[in-house]
Amino acid sequence: MGRLFGTDGVRGRAGEYPLDAPTIRRLGAALARALGDRGGGGVRFLAGRDTRESGPWIERELAAAIGGEGGTLVSAGVIPTPAVAYLTPRMGYTAGVVISASHNPFEDNGIKVFAGSGEKFTEALEDRVEAIMADLPDLPPEGGSHTPEGGSHTAEGGSHTAAVASGLSRKSVEQIDYRPEYLDHLLRILPSDHRQRGMRIAVDCANGAATTVAPQLFERLGFDVRLIGDVPNGRNINLGCGSTAPELLAKTVVDGDCRLGLALDGDCDRAIFVDRHGRVVDGDAVLFLCAKQMKAEGRLRKNAIVATVMSNIGLEIGLRGAGIDLVRCPVGDKYVMDALLTHGLSLGGEQSGHVIFADDLCTGDGLATSLHVLRTMAVTGRELDDLAGELQTYPQVLLNVRVARRADLTTIPPVAAVLDDVGRRLAGQGRLLVRYSGTEPLLRIMLEGRDEAEIRRWAQEIAEAVKRHLSVGT
């Protein structure tokens, strides 16, 4: 079947491998054994989930498997991913488990694990869990088959989850409401003297995990909030809302005369902003404005930050002008955190809105990010569009080419020649990045440069060369 863990835990379509009940059971048992001192006994897991309809039955399967090994799983219910990362070490749990597929549609789900320190599992621990799973038999769910008749993902007239749940034990999972502790942590990020009470903002909760926390947070901070994406029904998570679809938020900001808008994703670990004019402010701009402010206050360790290879070259140039170095890392927030720890830095993130303030937490937190942005606005007395407008981004072109195999491009002379030629044309005035997707049979081609039409033409040249030599049928 290949490696179970991807760049952000185990992810797939709920009810199908690797998120079918037997695999989830084996995963739960393996986690307990990998982390337990004596075959799984005594381990305590804290679980959180987003609003997908498949979340509760996946949680029950994990709890049953962990319980079968002598461990326990306690559920914090619907709560942001970063809340589980924050609470796991502070409440004395062995590990944290989050059931979420982040920005994906409701049919998908996922399982990601945090170590007892609050950091995401290392690849070494993931390998140990997978090795244990390989020696375990399928552990069927209590009460019978976990697959709807006929094996289809959806049943006529009803959801897959409803069909699945009919075969499950209804034994409940212990629940503890830890939201007050997490809210107190967030409130400390924005001190009272930096809270602009009455300031009107719009918040898009993506019909996800943020719905249980964000309204209370901003109400306690004294903001005048316009909420959207705050009525989850199990199937509308990320649907036309959230960080991947900020159009409704932009309209809400402009129509409501808001100072800014905040769009979270399904599990609330990333944030995209909209300024008062309805323009999107991405993770690069957030890194830029927060890094400058942290440096001015002496809070930016080593005067450097971490960003992935996908961050715009304009960020690198702008930071350099402010006396701030940029360390690049592979795509994925766990790689951002690894680089932060390796280099001893305090700020890093991704263009997509995953931003890590390492002094607060070891993972991205969309709500914490919003508070740091609001704090910067309050301290400087400037609007978001003004702060973000100082970042001059270069045009960026992204192309995806479906490939039949993953070959070393340098071993294919016609492709290598085109890549070398484009690299020479950029001549230090842009960037070329070509990489394979970690989850799909795609080659991703990214170019940045001063002239968008020019780099688009060059990207197409690379894509055509790849299609001739690596596409299906070649």
Report pLDDT digits (tens) over 92-146.
Answer: 999 999 999 999 999 999 999 998 887 888 888 999 999 999 988 877 665 444 4
Pairing of the two strands 108-115 and 95-99: antiparallel
Chain-centroid distance, C-alpha 235: 19
pTM of the model: 0.86
φ and ψ at 11, to 5 degrees?
-140, 145
DSSP 211: G
CA dihedral angle for residue 237, residue 239, residue 241, residue 244, rounded to 10 degrees: 90
Residue 38 has a pLDDT of 52
Q: Which residues of 375-408 are buried (b: 16+ CB within 10 A; e: fewer)?
A: bbbbeeeeebbebbeebebbbbbebebebeeeee
The residue extents of the domains of the chain are 10-165, 179-280, 282-362, 396-470
Domain 179-280: give its CATH code.
3.40.120.10
Mean pLDDT on 446-454: 94
Instruction: Note whether 10-165 and 282-362 share their fold.
Output: yes
Q: Of residues 167 and 355, which shows the higher confidence score?
A: 355
Domain 10-165: give its CATH code.
3.40.120.10
Domain 396-470: give its CATH code.
3.30.310.50
For 264-278, the pLDDT digits (tens) are 999 999 999 999 999
Count CA within 13 A, CB hemisphere, residue 408: 2
Q: 282-362 domain in CATH 3.40.120.10?
A: yes
Nearest to 244 by CA among 272, 268, 269, 267: 272
DSSP 419: H
Catalytic residue check, 102: yes
Residue 472 has a pLDDT of 59
Vertex 160: Cα angle to 53 and 148 (nearest 5): 145
**pLDDT band at 219; cut points 50, 70, 90:** very high
Count CA within 13 A, CB hemisphere, residue 471: 10
Pairing of the two strands 95-99 and 72-78: unpaired
Catalytic residue from among 54, 75, 100, 102: 102
